Amino acid sequence: MTEPTATYADLFAGIGGFAAVLQALGVHHAYAVEIDKAAATTYARNWGHDPLGDVTVDTADITTRVSAHTILTGGFPCQPFSKSGAQRGMDETRGTLFHDIMKIVQARRPPMILLENVRNLIGPRHAHEWALIIDLLREAGYQVSDQPAIVSPHQIKPEYGGAPQVRERVFITATLVPEGRVADPTVGPVTILDEARMDREWDLNLDLPLLTVDAQHDLTGTELSDSEVAWIDHWESWVQAVRVLYAAEADRDGAPAKRLPGFPIWAHVWTTSDRKRRALMAPGGVRVPAWKANFLTKNWDLYDGLRARGLGDWLDQWLRVTRTFPESRQKLEWQAQDTEHLWDCAMSLRPSGIRAKRMTHLPALVAITQTPILGPKRRRLAPREAARMQGLPDNYDFGGQRNAATFKQLGNGVNAGVVWNVLRAHVARDRDLLMANGAAKIVEAVDAGPDDLTHQIAQVLTNRKTHADADAKVGA
């Protein structure tokens, strides 16, 4: 039997964003673990290994449960470490999942580590945790930068696996320093290779691409409710009324037309009553924070200005309807610059209001509601399109589960294109150490990597299904 080229251990495996890239490179599975049953089922369906389990249980007996591996990957949950004591070591991480990661690292000493986390891990509130993570990896014998690698799919060209999604994530990449070698104490973070950096504006229709109307099966469940259409139509009428006013003023004055306001538009606070305004500025006698006072003042100035310039009667009628909406739908966040119509935008129905952006790229998929609305398509983003945003091919199988479950799994997942580019950048940075510490096969796999990552992932899934079907026939 041919010896595997290299092996991976996939911690907090989700639905297999890391596995997708590594299997496309020919790296073999050694171990995977995922505590969420639905995600584990999706992982098993596509990658041929059931990861359902608990890493805290497996690390109680690492030599039996966690196989040796070449590369350790994982999108680990960020849990706070203790700040009460002076010691900065493994004891401080006890009770956190990073403690379990380090137990595996110390027992198995994988030549390469690739970890992912949310952007907030490097925020000021987590400076202690970040420093401790870096210290522990260095104490374990790894070369790792104390500066984070922050990467988003929208920064990467589509031909290199990028996608029109703003999804900044922090990556920690570490290389085991072999005997006789010394780590570079000033090593910097990995950076996306210049050839892969996006150098133009995204277009959702072309670059994702969005599904067409003939893909009815994939579009099931993406319809907008009557209420959602009514809210958007109502705000569209406001957008057009204000645009007409601004255009008329520009013609009169011989100046460029004003843009729609860029600050949050809060129709629920519009009033001409000084008493009500004072009550909103200091509810219960407690003055609101400065940022909120600023937005309130801007909204009242906007309302007064529109009334003074001839929209008073129209606004009165418009507001009577607006007041029947939930408060969050009485707010508009216009971030679409000169886009002509609200229905030309990508929209998100958020607690903070209806957020409108240009149809260039979408915000990060999240593991909650707020699935983006594609205005020109008059529907929500489809799960298949969301999978494309995460770098997964169209033959990735979600097993007919509810859309909500699929979006949750994708929102919790790692983008395959970003993993691929971080891996390439890490090999470029630490090539010599990796060739010397037992990870030469990883280097070779990356060097021989596919021209089209998504196509190669699709081929892996096709081959796996073919083999599974053949095995099923033999078993029958």
pLDDT in tens, 404-442: 999 999 999 999 999 999 999 999 999 999 999 999 999
Q: What is the pLDDT of residues 138-156, one digit of tens each?
A: 999 999 999 999 999 999 9
The number of beta carbons lying within 10 Å of the beta carbon of residue 23 is 22
Residue 78 is among the residues annotated as catalytic for this protein: yes
pLDDT bucket at 445, cuts 50 / 70 / 90? very high
Q: Does the pLDDT of residue 125 top 90, yes or no? A: no
**Residues 6 or more apart whose Cβ sits within 8 Å of residue 40:** 13, 34, 50, 51, 52, 53
- What is the pLDDT at residue 270? 97
- What predicted TM-score, i.e. pTM, was given to this entire model? 0.91
The whole-angstrom separation of Cα 407 and Cα 466 is 27
Burial 133-146 (b: 16+ CB within 10 A, else e): bbebbbebbbbbbb
Residue 274 token pair: 């000084």
Q: Is 104 within 8 Å of 14 (Cβ atoms)? A: no
Lookup result for tokens 């940075």: 429
pLDDT bucket at 86, cuts 50 / 70 / 90? very low
Sign, Cα dihedral of 196, 201, 206, 211: positive
Q: What is the pLDDT of residues 31-45, one digit of tens each?
A: 999 999 999 999 999
Q: Does the pLDDT of residue 2 top 50, yes or no? A: no
Among the listed residues 27, 155, 71, the one whose alpha carbon sits nearest the alpha carbon of residue 418: 155
Q: Which domains are assigned to the chain?
A: 7-201+394-475 (3.40.50.150), 223-380 (no CATH)
Strand partners, 31: 9
- What is the pLDDT at residue 216? 80
Residue 166 token pair: 């703003």
Q: Does the pLDDT of residue 84 top 70, yes or no? A: no
Q: Is 88 exposed, middle or buried (0-12, 13-18, 19+ CB in 10 A)?
A: middle
Average pLDDT of the residues in 341-357? 95
Q: Given the residues 35, 62, 78, 150, select the one marked as catalytic.
A: 78
The whole-angstrom separation of Cα 382 and Cα 55 is 32
N-term to C-term CA, the chain: 26
What's the mean per-residue pLDDT of the chain? 92
Q: Is 420 within 8 Å of 161 (Cβ atoms)? A: yes
Among the listed residues 112, 24, 120, 28, the one whose alpha carbon sits nearest the alpha carbon of residue 73: 112
Q: Does the pLDDT of residue 70 top 70, yes or no? A: yes
